[in-house]
Amino acid sequence: MSEKVVPYAITTKDNPFNPFDDFDKWYAFDEAKGYHSCSYLARIAKTSSDFSDEDQTIEINRAIDEIIALNPTGIYTKVSRER
Q: What is the mean pLDDT of residues 47-56?
A: 92
With CA atoms as reference, report the closest residue to 26 among 45, 9, 49: 9
pLDDT over 70, % of the chain? 95
What are the pLDDT digits (tens) for 54-77?
999 999 999 999 999 998 889 999
Report pLDDT digits (tens) over 18-34.
999 999 999 999 999 99
pTM score above 0.85:
yes
Q: Is residue 1 part of a domain?
A: no
pLDDT of residue 57: 94
C-alpha span between 39 and 31 (Å, rounded): 10
Q: Are 26 and 41 in contact (CB under 8 A)?
A: no
Q: Is residue 68 part of a domain?
A: yes
Q: What range defines the domain where residue 34 resides?
A: 9-79
In a domain, 28, yes or no: yes
